[in-house]
Structure 1
Amino acid sequence: MAGGLQELRRRIRSVQNTEQITRAMKLVAGAKLRRAEERARASREYFKEIRAVTARAVAKGGNNHPLLETRPEETVAMVVVTSDRGLAGPYNTNVLRRAQADMRALNARQTGVYAVGRKGRDFFRYRNVPIEEEFVGLGDDPSYRQAKAVADIIIARYLAKEVDAVYLTYTEYKNAMSHEPRTIRLLPVEPPEQSGQDKAGPELGYVFEPDPRDVFQDLLPRYVEMLIFGALLESKASEQGARMTAMDNASKNAEELIRRMILLRNRLRQAAITREIAELVGGAEALK
């Protein structure tokens, strides 16, 4: 009984230490989430504006651009955004499951993966899926330069006709408790349409320098870069939200486990005390 009681005490201390770690990780993830959420929301406003400018440039400059060229999708590239670290609940599992389902649905002759994040890289490498490029160690604050590095590679391979289409799978952030994996097509670019307000109202007098066609030629690659940058920010906010939720659940589970083990410890102690009293009483009776 003493050995079991001592082992139970060791387990309680171990779970208490784990609870302290999970609570600390929850606080850290919460602090990172606030910053990631602010950046994701700010990027949405910027993307909204660059989308509007691109739509106006398309209307003025036509749609003659190599990134708009549509080809039969025989060779497809999938850009999959995951995290570099675990302990984020079902975050990575959900986005990887969505990427796998979309890859099967595309039914292309060849599909290569551009893995953003160690979890996605390791997942596809273990399943012998061709990894064309890997981008790891992006940190907690992805930069536009990192998104541009990804965009430059896929744009170059698309223009060289090494791939016929490029799709992006990432996690869209809604709030700390809700985030949804989704897949969008990066290349060929789908020209954004002007909003209903722009169509219904009078034509605004935007001035393009040097001219709409030249602006359009330079703006379209930036549009692709912004799509990737926004996906990185949305995924990072989703990751921190998922990690905060997972650590909160782990802390609550540890607290409940500690409560149960303390009750069990008290029962064992009470049983030991009762047995000792019974032995003392029995010994005293034997001496009479």
Structure 2
Amino acid sequence: MRGQAELSLRFARLNEISGIMTAMKSLSLVETKKLARFIGHQHRMLANIEAAAADFLNFFQVTSSAEAPIILILVGSERGFCGNFNERVLAALDTLPRQNPTAALVVVGSRLAAKLASRPGVVARLDGASVTEDVPAVLNRVMDALHLASTASGAGATLFSLAHEAEGEPALKRLLPFDPPTAPHFAHPPRLQLAPPEFFAELLDQYLLAALYGLLYESLSAESRQRLAHMEQALDRLGETIDRLALKRNALRQEKIVEEIEVILSSEMAFRNHG
């Protein structure tokens, strides 16, 4: 009786866990679809900014410091249940050369930051986004960290990012200095309301904001996809365990019924013999 009660209790608990995991899987699916729309909008915005910058640079020269320090933004996960998501970022980081002693790391996502607790060169450990609505606040924290790192160096930074693409592996991208794609060469320069250096500085700010938004959205999308796949695998294994427990529970019930029948038959035989 005790074994059957314990088995029933475990069966109920696993079913409850299965319900929670199914809800988490559904939320990840919703998040993935929502992020796909945001990423599409962000790509179009970034393309427009790059086209404007390319047109500007066809007519105006902008100099950049060749000795600018390197800042690398690493984007991991804020939540768990996403498999080896953070480990893949770390593996990609370990393949990069470590020749520049001034390189600084800005780590986004507490799960990834915890794995880099003893790593030298980390100048900021920031909480990451759990859902799409968290991204603007995370972006503000990243911009503050970049401003502090650039101010401390006394010069503009060469900025790289290492993060998951929406449907792929972690990728290293250079964000600054800005290198726009080739654009058609127009006969006349763009008409500006600001001095060219001031205009380009404002354009760079808009570019960096758009690029970082895209970076965070794509990483969160990849994380949601990874969590979705991880949940599906876990639910499959959990379903198999629940099915085995159900069979075992039914077998114990049948044994108990047989025992009860045997007791009734034994009592009936004893009654007849005494009669």
TM-score bucket of the superposed structures, by smaller chain: 0.7 to 0.9
Q: Distance in 1 between matches of 2:136 and 2:148?
A: 18
> Does 2:138 match 1:150?
no
Per-residue displacement from partner, 1:160-219 (whole Å, max 9, x unpaired)? Answer: 357964321111113xxxx321121234x1421224xx26xx657643333544422332
The count of corresponding residues between Structure 1 and Structure 2 is 270
After superposition, the Cα gap between the structure-2 partners of 1:204 and 1:49, relative to the gap in structure 1 and judged at 3 Å, is farther
What is the CA distance between 1:231 and its match in structure 2? 0.4
Q: Distance in 1 between matches of 2:246 and 2:155?
A: 63
The one-letter amino acid paired with 1:134 is R
Give ranges in structure 1 of 5+ residues lacking alignment.
none
> Does 2:1 match 1:13?
no
Q: Distance in 1 between matches of 2:108 and 2:261?
A: 66
TM-score, length basis structure 1: 0.78
Q: Distance in 1 between matches of 2:109 and 2:34?
A: 20
Q: Distance in 2 between matches of 1:10 and 1:36?
A: 39
TM-score, length basis structure 2: 0.82
What is the CA distance between 1:147 and its match in structure 2? 2.6
> Does 2:128 match 1:132?
no
Equivalent positions of 1:18-167 (< 5 A) are 18-64=17-63, 68-71=64-67, 76-102=70-96, 105-109=97-101, 111-125=103-117, 127-136=118-127, 138=129, 140=131, 141-144=133-136, 146-147=138-139, 149-151=141-143, 153-154=145-146, 157-158=149-150, 160-161=153-154, 165-167=158-160
> Does 2:175 match 1:181?
no
CA contact under 8 A between 1:44 and 1:230: conserved in structure 2?
A: yes
After superposition, the Cα gap between the structure-2 partners of 1:212 and 1:163, relative to the gap in structure 1 and judged at 3 Å, is closer
What is the CA distance between 1:80 and its match in structure 2? 1.0
The one-letter amino acid paired with 1:51 is E
Map of 2:182 onto structure 1? 194
The residue matched to 2:72 in structure 1 has which SS?
strand
CA contact under 8 A between 1:76 and 1:163: conserved in structure 2?
A: no
The residue matched to 1:192 in structure 2 has which SS?
coil
The residue matched to 2:30 in structure 1 has which SS?
helix
After superposition, the Cα gap between the structure-2 partners of 1:81 and 1:213, relative to the gap in structure 1 and judged at 3 Å, is same
The residue matched to 1:106 in structure 2 has which SS?
coil
Per-residue displacement from partner, 1:66-91 (whole Å, max 9, x unpaired)? Answer: xx32238xx64321112222122332
Q: Distance in 1 between matches of 2:147 and 2:230?
A: 37
Per-residue displacement from partner, 1:117-158 (whole Å, max 9, x unpaired)? Answer: 211221111x34443112225452245564355235435634
The residue matched to 2:182 in structure 1 has which SS?
coil
Q: What do you get for the CA RMSD once the two structures are aligned? A: 3.1
Give ranges in structure 2 of 5+ residues lacking alignment.
none
The residue matched to 1:186 in structure 2 has which SS?
strand
After superposition, the Cα gap between the structure-2 partners of 1:112 and 1:213, relative to the gap in structure 1 and judged at 3 Å, is closer
Equivalent positions of 1:199-278 (< 5 A) are 203=187, 206-275=190-259, 277=261
